């Protein structure tokens, strides 16, 4: 699987977290994700398209299980960080799609050194376009932009001016 596909599956698994009372219960239920049946739908043009299919090898399943469990373990910490920067929006008021996308992206930005912050933001915006409402991409981008260090923003601005 590509990183984008893994991230999308991770998003889908994490989306269910808020429906369970404990993190342990959520982790146990997330393992059921791999047994979920293929799901398809009819596209606007009348063609049949697969909207959900988990064709993950053992390595990918292990990655997804570990990644989602790590995010679940840090949800309180991640939510506190989001609450600090999301002006006028606390995590309890956010839509579940946007909150799940933010949690995944903030996890990547703070705890995964293998993914550049700009990539995490871009991928989060793409998830928001696919699964969120019309305002989701801008909202997700606005919140995540506050996690990028100011030095990096200055460099980007300088590069933009030189171009």
Count the Cβ atoms, other than its own, within 10 Å of residue 21. Answer: 8
Structural domains of the chain, with CATH: 3-150 (1.10.940.10)
3-class secondary-structure state, position 163: coil
Q: Which parts of the chain have pLDDT scores under 50?
A: 50-52, 153-154, 157-158
pLDDT given at position 153: 47
pLDDT given at position 43: 63
Whole-number Å distance between alpha carbons of 102 and 19: 17
The per-residue pLDDT for range 85-124, each reduced to its tens digit, is: 998 889 999 999 999 999 999 999 999 999 999 999 999 9
Longest CA pairwise span in the chain (Å)? 52
pTM here is 0.78
Q: By CB neighbour count within 10 A (0-12 exposed, 13-18 middle, 19+ buried), where does 161 fall?
A: exposed
């Amino acid at each position: 699987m590509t990183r984008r596909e893994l991230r999308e599956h991770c998003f889908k698994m994490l989306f269910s977290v808020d429906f369970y009372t404990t993190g342990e219960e959520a982790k146990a239920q997330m393992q059921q994700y791999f047994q979920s049946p293929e799901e398809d739908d009819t596209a606007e043009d009348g063609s049949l398209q697969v909207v959900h299919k988990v064709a993950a090898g053992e390595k990918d399943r292990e990655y997804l299980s570990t990644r989602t469990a790590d995010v679940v373990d840090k949800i309180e910490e991640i939510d506190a960080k989001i609450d600090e920067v999301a002006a006028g929006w606390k995590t309890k008021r956010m839509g579940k799609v946007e909150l799940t996308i933010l949690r995944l992206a903030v996890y990547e930005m703070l705890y995964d050194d293998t993914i550049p912050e700009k990539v995490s933001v871009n991928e989060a915006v793409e998830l928001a376009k696919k699964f969120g409402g019309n305002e989701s991409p801008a909202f997700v981008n606005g919140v995540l932009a506050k996690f990028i260090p100011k030095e990096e923003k200055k460099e980007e601005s300088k590069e933009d001016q030189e171009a």
